[in-house]
Amino acid sequence: MSAPLLFALTPGEPAGIGPDLCLLLANQQQAQILIAIANAQMLRERATLLGLSCSIIEVTPAAWPTQPAAAGSLYVWDTPLSSPVRPGVLDKANAAYVLETLRRAGQGCLDRDFAGMITAPVHKGVINEAGITFSGHTEFLAELTATEQVVMMLATRGLRVALVTTHLPLKDVAGAITAQRLQRVSRILHADLRDKFGIARPRILVCGLNPHAGEGGHLGREEIEVIEPTLERLRDEGIDLIGPLPADTLFTPKHLDSCDAVLAMYHDQGLPVLKYKGFGAAVNVTLGLPIIRTSVDHGTALDLAGSGRIDTGSLKVALETAYEMADSQS
């Protein structure tokens, strides 16, 4: 049996439910060595508030643990806060702390200390209010790892959906579906399904942009002029792409049972289906990075912080996915 691997866990916004999720998760024995990169005292205070008996074990890069923590305990790489934390109350003074946890995790992955990183939600607004330009985890990690192009993919049991475009107004989507972008995204999706998920020959279903995939040009010409020619060129490279298919019939067992992932053209084309299928048990995976990064599929839920009324399902899936991805590379 191979030795357990180390993974970094970042609790995200300290006033949100991220710390709660990490503490609740610590009740369960982990298959791998999980290191929470967070403020140790803040976690102790949150555990007391939640009524949890969780042993916080401080560790450092000088002497990483060699075995997973016992159930009811959590390894923590202590990271200093600038201001005390009140659950549910944002404080821009702690914006730099949030980014430092991400930097430590990402750099640790680059340095091969960690086999991957799992992230709980951050609050973009309060980070920007602190005068720090921040678009999100994905952009931060892309810059840290000097990665030019990344791809957003959400997954739940039985379905993976990657996106050609992400957070764009609908009126801008058609213009953003270029041959260059479609090629880059398709190549990254194919490569990471193969290299990080261990799928020897990934089979990818591709959504059309327009209703009925353009219906032969009567409902739009993007399929004819951009999507179909690009997919044909990519097939010549050995990438198994089926489509473009009408999105309203693609997401049915007839098609999904024989594919490894779906490539949707825009955010609300693919993700509503995935979240309907696996809400609370889905994971966000950043493809294209030289490291493994998975994340929960929900926000900070400030109103629930410290209440104990939360579901750890998405974080569990994020952990399981990161473990499986690392195992497929070993």
- 66 labeled part of a ligand binding site: no
Among 91, 115, 94, 117, CA closest to 104: 117
> Does residue 287 lie in a domain region?
no
Coil, strand, or helix at residue 255? helix
Non-local CB neighbours of 45 within 8 Å, separated by 6+ positions: 85
- 267 labeled part of a ligand binding site: yes
Q: Tell me the helices (H) and strands (E) count for the chain, helix number first.
A: 13, 12
pTM of the model: 0.91
- For residue 29, the enclosing domain spans 6-147+292-328
> pLDDT tens digit string along 227-255?
999 999 999 999 999 999 999 999 999 99
Q: Collect the ranges in the chain with pLDDT lower than 70.
A: 1, 330
Q: Are residue 76 and residue 159 in the same domain, yes or no?
A: no
Q: Are residue 18 and residue 112 in the same domain, yes or no?
A: yes
* Count of domains for the chain: 2
Q: Are residue 256 and residue 205 in the same domain, yes or no?
A: yes
Residue pair 296/120 in contact by the 8 Å Cβ criterion: yes
Residue pair 13/124 in contact by the 8 Å Cβ criterion: no
> Does residue 286 lie in a domain region?
no
Among 78, 94, 90, 86, CA closest to 41: 78
> pLDDT tens digit string along 122-133?
999 999 999 999
- 212 labeled part of a ligand binding site: yes
* SS3 sequence of 84-108: CCECCECCHHHHHHHHHHHHHHHHH
pLDDT of residue 1: 52
pLDDT of residue 330: 66
Q: Are residue 175 and residue 262 in the same domain, yes or no?
A: yes
- 123 labeled part of a ligand binding site: no
> Does residue 89 lie in a domain region?
yes
CA distance 247 to 252: 10
Q: Are residue 126 and residue 258 in the same domain, yes or no?
A: no
Residue pair 2/115 in contact by the 8 Å Cβ criterion: no
- 249 labeled part of a ligand binding site: no
> Does residue 285 lie in a domain region?
no
Q: Are residue 27 and residue 131 in the same domain, yes or no?
A: yes
Q: Are residue 70 and residue 84 in the same domain, yes or no?
A: yes
Q: What is the CATH number of the domain that holds 124?
A: 3.40.718.10
Q: Are residue 257 and residue 306 in the same domain, yes or no?
A: no
pLDDT of residue 329: 80
Q: Are residue 247 and residue 201 in the same domain, yes or no?
A: yes
- 218 labeled part of a ligand binding site: no
DSSP 181-199: HHHHHHHHHHHHHHHTT--
